[in-house]
Amino acid sequence: MPEVMIRGRRMFYEEHGRGFPVLFGHSYLWDARMWEPQVAVLSRAYRCIVPEIWAHGRSDPPPHSPYSVDELAEDMWAFAQALGLSRFAVVGLSVGGMWGMRLALNHPEAVAALVLMDTDAGAEPEESRQRYFAMMAAVEQAGALPPPILEALVPFFFSPVTVRRDPELIARFKAALAAIPPERLPGILAIGRGIFSRTSVLERLGEIRAPTLVVVGADDVSRPPHEAERMARAIPGARLEVIPEAGHIANLERPDVVTPLLESFLAQALGEGAR
């Protein structure tokens, strides 16, 4: 797995295919493997690059806590520069969408197309912020993600339909979290505290000029559809797609819908020349 050095720390990434570059941003508590179904298809036409955020996958922990989404966005800009990318598309889910929209706002000349999946431009609502901080405090105290926390996380990531239909996906998710080494947890929590104390960029969304697709799972309770609708209204020309029978990880819950949707959008937004 290749790596680049950013702020004296190693950021690992996956890369597949050739063509116009597409940066994929994964969700909190996931890693580059989250995008495997989409990369398998899109790498036939594009250079698919999936960086792993600090403390996730193999990447080093962040330098301090909390580590803000704005800092993460600038790290991703440094990552793109390290790879020599002057222009690229961004497909980001959850925190991947949060840093992706900030890249589009702060470096508009570089972002040729933008996909915002199961994400939000606003600050975290106070009720959910307190809930997430309490869960992180429990993890910090336990030095692990104990079974009750793992069970509590499932509905935040998956539709009830997915829980019934794909128990293997749920089992893999819980097993991966349970296997996180204790020494990795402080870095993961530093990223989480940055995500859930983020500042709003809602008032800036009108500045985005890249063709934009906003996608949300119909059953996403973490980033509910009304947040996606709000973003789509604020971004000029944005298109909104609601994925039925999907929660927060819509790309893994409904790859049969999401993958062709991304394929079609990128082809239209980037044009045949980019392919």
The backbone torsions φ and ψ at residue 21, rounded to the nearest 5 degrees and listed phi first, read -75, 140
Q: Determine the longest span between alpha carbons in the chain, in angstroms.
A: 53
pLDDT in tens, 126-158: 999 999 999 999 999 999 999 999 999 999 999
Positive or negative, the Cα torsion across 259, 99, 50, 269? Answer: positive
pLDDT tens digits, one per residue of 195-234? 999 999 999 999 999 999 999 999 999 999 999 999 999 9
**pTM, entire model:** 0.96
A 10 A CB-CB count for 252 gives 26
82-102, pLDDT tens digit by residue? 999 999 999 999 999 999 999
Domain of residue 123, CATH code: 3.40.50.1820
The per-residue pLDDT of the chain, averaged, comes to 96
Query: Domain containing 13: what range?
Result: 3-274
The answer, yes or no, to whether residue 179 has pLDDT greater than 80, is yes
What domain count does the chain have? 1
Under 8 Å between Cβ of 195 and 28? yes
